[in-house]
Chain A
C-alpha cells in the first residue's frame, strides 16, 4: 500500500480492508476487527473462474484540534467513523459475493493539507469514492481539486448548510444531515408538543451561531417564537467547566434569569462546551433541547425500531462499542455505494454514481423509510431522531407536516427554496 501508515487510524493494523468477510469472519472480528485474512466465505457463493469486480472506497478524515467534550461519556472512540465504514464494507461484501462484486476500504486520517494531497494521490491511482469527514473549507478544497475527475465525495461529517446551498458542489453528496434538517426536526416536534416559546442560548463560536441561525429559521418555518436570545461566552483561559459543580450551580441560574416566559430552552453548542450544564440548572424549570438535552441526530445507539436491533448488534460485535451518528453517516455512505453497485449491476464508477443520483435509488437503513438523495443538492433525505442520552424520544418529520412529494423533504432545504446552482445544471 502506498498509503502513509502513520495516517491510518489503526496504526499497525493496516488500512486496506478489502475482501468479503461478512460471514465466516464474525468470530475473527471479535478478536481483531480490522485485520482480516483473505476471505473464505466469498469463494463459495461467487463460483470460480469469473473475475470479481472491485470497488475501492476511501475514508478520509481530517485531523482537527477539537476541545475535549464536557462528559467523559462523549469521548470519541479511536475508530469513530472507521467502524461504521467497515461494517458497511462487510455488508456490501456479503451481498457482493452473490454478484461477484468486492468492496475494499482504505482509511486516511491527516491534517488538511496532507489529507488533500493523499486523497488526490489515491484518486490518481483509481479510487472513485471518497467518504469524507472534514471541515467545510477542506471539503470544498477537495471537491474543487477533484472536480474534473470521475469521483464522488460523500460528506459524512460536515453539517454546514452552505455546503448544500450557495457553496454546493456537483461532485458531493451528503449523508450527514444539515443543520437545517436537525433544527427543523426539533422545531416540528416542539411545535407538535405546543412548546412554541423558545429561549435561544448560543455559543459565540461561528458553528454555534450557524446552528442558532438554523433554529431561528426553524422557528419561522414551523410557527415558534424566540422570546429571548443570549450568547453564552466562554473564557477560554478559564473555562467555567473547570470550576466543578459548585460554581456552575451558581452561574447557570444567574445566566438564565429574567427571561420572558418561555416553554423550552434551545441551546446551540456544537462542540459540547457548555450545553450540558444547562439541564436542571436553569432559573426556571424548563426543558432543554438543541445540541444538548433533547438532541436531533441521524442515529442513536439505543434505537431498536425498524430492525435496528440486529444492526446495532452487528456493529457492537465488530467494534465492541455502540454506534454513534458519525459511524451511521459513514455506514450510509458506504452502503449507498454498495446498493448502487448492486442495482446497477456494475462496479464502474460512472454507473454507480449515476444510479446513486437517480430517482430509482433507495436505501433501507433502519429508519422505517427508504432513504435517497435530493436531486437539488445531493442531500440524503432521512428521518431525524430526537433523543435523550439514553433513548429515542421521537422521530421527525412529525405527523401533520405535509409535503406534496415526500414528508422527509419538510426537513432542511426544499427544492423550491434551494440556492444550490451546481445541481441545477447537471
Chain B
C-alpha cells in the first residue's frame, strides 16, 4: 500500500472485514512469518489484524522459512551464515542452529516432521538433516545450483530442482538415490506437490513456464505458459507455487511481472492474474486456505489475497526484500 492510499485504509479495511465476515466468521488469527533477505529479520504478522506485530533479528540473509510439525519451532535458512536457525515460536528465542551445508536457500520437512532436506545452492548438494539431533544424515549430489524442494504427501519421494542444470531430480527418500531426472525449462525454482500426490508442479523462472509432472511416470503432463497484456514476456518469471488444500487452484508468483497467476488445476488454464507488489517471490496460504500471502521483494511488502474472491485485499509493509513466508496454525 503506497503512501497516498494509506489514509483511506481504515474504511476500506472495515468494509473488507465486513465482506469477509459476511458468513459471521471474521479472519482467524494465524501467525505469518516473513523473512526479509536484506534486513536479516523476520516480520511477524497477525492474520486477523493484517499488520506486523513484531520483527525479530535473525541470522544473515534469511530466505527459506518453515515450521516444525508441532509448530513449536520456526526454521529459517540463514544463507550467509551457512546454517539453519531454529527459533521458539512461543518465546521467539533462538533455540539452536542446525548444520545445513553451505548457502542454504530453501528446505522442506519430511511429512513426519523429520528429517529436513536443505538445498545448498552453492554446493550442488541436498543436505539431509536430523532436526532433533542437529546432525547431517546424508548429502545427495544433484545438479548445479539446487533450489526448489517438494516432497510427496506420503514422504516417499523428494523432488529437487537445480537452476543451472534445468532439471527436476526425483529422489527416493529411503535410499537417497536419484531415481530419475526430468529436464524442465530454464532456471527451475520451486517444486510443489498437489495434495493428493498425483502431480508435482515445477516453476521455471527464466523459461517463463510451469511444468506439471506425473511423479509416477515422470512424464510432463502439461506446460503452463503465461501471457499478460502490457507485460513483456521476459518479465514473466514464475517462482513461488502453492496449491490449495482442496487441490483445485494453483497460485504461481510471476516475479518481476508483479502478478500472481491463478490456475485451474483441472484444466491447467490461467483463470486470473492478480496484481500484487513488485518482484513477487514466494507464497503461503493460511491453514483455512482463506488468505494467501505473497512476498514482494522489490517493493518491501506482502500482498494479501482473498482466495475465495480472488482479490488482493491489501499489502503490508515488512522489511527490505521480503523473500520467504510461512503461516502457523495458531
A contact residues vs B (CB 8 Å cutoff): 22-24, 26, 41, 44-45, 91, 94-95, 98-99, 307, 310, 313-314, 339, 342-343, 362-364, 368-370, 406-408
Contact = CB atoms under 8 A, between A and B. Distances in A.
Nearest to B102: A313
Nearest to B80: A309
Contacts of A26: 123
A363 B166 CA distance: 10
Contacts of A314: 122
B5 to A, nearest CB: 24
A327 to B, nearest CB: 16
Nearest to A371: B206
A77 B185 CA distance: 35
B173 interface: no
Contact of A95 (B122, B166, B207, B208): B166
Contacts of B165: 91, 94-95, 98
Contacts of B145: 307, 310
Contacts of B271: none
B144 interface: yes
A308 to B, nearest CB: 11
A318 B207 CA distance: 28
Contact of A94 (B143, B205, B232): B143
A3 B120 CA distance: 38
Given A26-B123, A370-B234, A362 B143 contact: no
B226 to A, nearest CB: 14
Given A342-B166, A369-B206, A407-B234, A94 B124 contact: yes
Sorting the interface of chain B by its residue count into under 10, 10 to 19, 20 to 34 or 35 or more gives 20 to 34
Contacts, number: 76
Given A91-B165, A94-B165, 7 more contacts: A99-B181, A364-B186, A364-B187, A368-B206, A368-B237, A369-B206, A370-B234
Contact of A362 (B162, B186, B232): B186
A94 B165 CA distance: 7
Interface string B140-173: 0101110000000000000000111111010000
B183 interface: yes
**Ranked 3 nearest A-B pairs via Cβ:** A364-B206, A364-B186, A95-B165
Contacts of A41: 141
A98 B164 contact: no
A370 B121 contact: no
A364 B164 contact: yes
Interface of B: 103, 121-125, 141, 143-145, 162-167, 169, 178, 181, 183, 185-187, 205-208, 232, 234, 237, 256
A370 B206 contact: yes
Contact of A406 (B162, B163, B186, B234): B234
B313 to A, nearest CB: 29
A23 B186 CA distance: 21
Contacts of B103: 310, 313
B77 to A, nearest CB: 14
Contacts of A94: 124, 143-144, 164-165
A95 B143 contact: yes
Given A91-B164, A94-B124, A307-B163, A22 B144 contact: yes
Given A91-B144, A95-B143, A370 B186 contact: yes
Contacts of B144: 22, 91, 94-95
A98 B207 contact: no
B178 A45 contact: yes
A307 B118 CA distance: 17
Nearest to B177: A44
Contacts of B206: 362, 364, 368-370
A381 to B, nearest CB: 10
Nearest to B204: A364
11 contacts: A24-B141, A94-B124, A95-B144, A95-B167, A98-B165, A98-B178, A99-B181, A310-B121, A364-B166, A370-B207, A408-B234
A98 B179 CA distance: 11
Contacts of A307: 121, 145, 163, 187
Contacts of A364: 163-164, 166, 186-187, 205-207
B270 to A, nearest CB: 20
B232 A407 contact: yes
Contacts of B141: 23-24, 41, 44-45
A23 B207 contact: no
Contacts of B256: 368
Nearest to B183: A342
A8 B143 CA distance: 30
Nearest to B147: A307
Q: Taking each of A307, A313, A408, which has the highest tally of chain B beta carbons within 10 Å of its own beta carbon? A: A307
Given A22-B144, A407-B234, A98 B124 contact: no
Nearest to A98: B181
A64 B186 CA distance: 37
Contacts of A45: 141, 178, 181
B153 to A, nearest CB: 26
A354 B143 CA distance: 25
Given A363-B186, A407-B234, A98 B166 contact: no
Nearest to B105: A310
A408 B232 CA distance: 11
Contacts of B237: 368
Contacts of B166: 95, 339, 342, 364
Contacts of A313: 103, 122
A369 B234 contact: yes
A406 B125 CA distance: 35
A95 B145 CA distance: 11
A45 B141 CA distance: 9
